[in-house]
Amino acid sequence: MQEAHEWLRLADQDLRLAELALGDAPPLTGEALFHAQQAAEKALKGLLVSHGTQYLLTHDVRKLLQLCEATGASLGPTLIAAAGLTQFATRFRYPGEDQPTREESLPWLELARLVRDEVRRRLPPDTPPAT
């Protein structure tokens, strides 16, 4: 379970980076969306690990959600929209893409937060490692 909580800590860090990027003037929306996608991906990998399931080496949130469903670790139909976060793994990593506005980015960040929160609800509380 410790590894699952470590994935959640990494997801928390990505969410913090996304929030910081949106707070800049001007906001760094492409970076924020990249970190939102990363947060959802890492949270889902944590959920899979907590169920003893090997996660895929992928950035595809849709595939990770499907794997969660197949292993009984479903987040339910309300989070199916999180699959849309997949596009941000690469979309703004290269020149030529118009950057979204802060307002267009905020719902995606909220969706990534929701994924992380739903995963956290499904895990037992984190306990410090034994010394």
- Can you list the domains of the chain with their CATH numbers? 2-122 (1.20.120.330)
Q: Which pLDDT band, with edges at 50, 70 and 90, does 54 fall under?
A: confident
pLDDT at 23 over 50: yes
Quick one: pLDDT at residue 94? 87
Secondary structure letter of residue 6 according to DSSP: H
Say which DSSP state 123 is in. Answer: S
DSSP summary character for residue 110: H
Residue 46 confidence (pLDDT):
95
What percent of the chain has a predicted confidence (pLDDT) above 90? 74
Closest to 29 in 3D by CA, of 94, 102, 108? 102
Residue 117: partners with Cβ closer than 8 Å, 6 or more residues away: none
- Banded model confidence at residue 126, pLDDT cuts 50, 70, 90: confident
This prediction's pTM: 0.91
Contact present, 57 and 64 (Cβ < 8 Å) = no
Alpha helices in 24-126 (DSSP H): 29-50, 61-70, 102-122
